[in-house]
Amino acid sequence: MTLGYHHLLTPLDGSELAAQALTHAQVIAQRSGARLTLLQVIPNVAALAQEPALPPGRLTAALHTQTLQSQWQEQARAALEQTAQAITDQGVTADAAVVVAHPPDGILDYAQTHAVDLIVMSTHGRSGLARWVYGSVAARVVQAAACPVLLIRTVAGETPPAPRKILVTLDGTRLSTRALPEAERLARLFKAEIVLLRVVVDSYEQNLRYVPASLAPEVADYTSGLLERLIAQATVEQGGIAADLLARGVEATSIVLTGDPVQTILDYAVSEAVELIAMATHGRSGMARMLHGSAAERVLHDAPCPLLLVHATA
């Protein structure tokens, strides 16, 4: 495995909250020797001037908007270049880019065409446009990005600490393990511990709900035995993964719990002071889809720490 990254991308908007992601990106770039690009995506409001049959008043407003957009681009580039120079002065190669596009598309296109191997971005911006760019857009970036995305859920006045404990969620499928290499990469960079978490769903009550009362004892015995077997199987499988990590010099432990997958992940992250959660964004079927599909957004919404999401393509 390559220890570091080669090219990091951090979308910014000039706000303090968005800049918190830059702090993380700069540390990762410094430790891995990567180049860091600061990107601001500006919506193409000047496209209004190209609309057919605009009334004279709207045409004048659209042309005026073109002038404002040019000024906006120039100001954004100047600010980004100043920040990039300050980062370069601290020993990290950094550059700046301003593109005109729909925000998520601009981020995704830039990442793809410039060989970015990690996007580091905040999930919240300042207000207005910033909230639009750094709120729901994060989900769109995660869904379509070819590279991993490290999402920093920002809070005013707070900067999340460097990870010392990384929680990797697994569900027994091959696709759910796609987050492991990236978690290992960060664990090596920060000398952090990896905790492998597998949540086994207890379907006891659900099974009893749909069977005749006369068969309930038999179904209860079967369900109880099945749960025990699933826990035992998961324990063995995850123990093997943890042993492989240990053999490669990465501190790792494994834990198997029962309950609702998303809530169990969140509760464990809080109780064990986890600094980073790593997970695949979707799996193949069944539990994999439930845990690693739309549930990733639920984890992102309530996670108490940064979240590393890897798009688990087949």
Q: What is the pLDDT along the chain (314 residues), one digit of tens a residue?
A: 456 799 999 998 777 777 888 989 999 999 999 999 999 998 776 554 555 544 555 545 555 566 777 888 899 999 999 999 999 999 999 999 999 988 889 999 999 999 999 999 987 644 444 444 445 677 788 878 999 999 987 665 566 678 999 999 998 888 889 999 999 999 999 999 999 999 998 765 555 555 566 655 666 666 667 788 889 999 999 999 999 999 999 999 999 999 888 899 999 999 999 999 999 876 343 334 434 455 666 777 778 889 999 987 64
CA 213 to centroid of chain Cα atoms: 46
- Provide φ and ψ at 131, rounded to 5°: -65, -40
Cβ contact 6:98 at 8 Å: no
Cβ contact 246:262 at 8 Å: no
pLDDT of residue 133: 41
- Provide φ and ψ at 273, rounded to 5°: 55, 50
The rounded distance, in Å, linking the Cα atoms of 126 and 111 is: 23
pLDDT of residue 275: 92
pLDDT of residue 218: 62
Q: H helices then E strands: how many in the chain?
A: 11, 10
Tokens of 118: 């990690």
CATH 3.40.50.620 in the chain, residue ranges:
7-152, 165-310
Report which residue type is found at 62: A
pLDDT of residue 211: 55
Q: Select from 3.40.50.300, 3.40.50.1100, 3.40.50.620, 3.40.190.10 the CATH code of 7-152.
A: 3.40.50.620
Determine the Cα angle at 133 with ends 276 and 280, to 5°.
Answer: 35
pLDDT of residue 157: 56
Tokens of 67: 């002038």
In the sheet with 165-170, reading across from the earlier edge strand, the strands are: 94-100, 35-42, 7-11, 118-122, 149-152, 307-310, 276-280, 165-170, 193-200, 252-258
Cα distances from 18 to residues 10, 125, 209, 216, 307, in angstroms, run: 9, 5, 48, 55, 15
In the CATH hierarchy, which fold is given to the domain comprising 165-310? Rossmann fold (3.40.50)
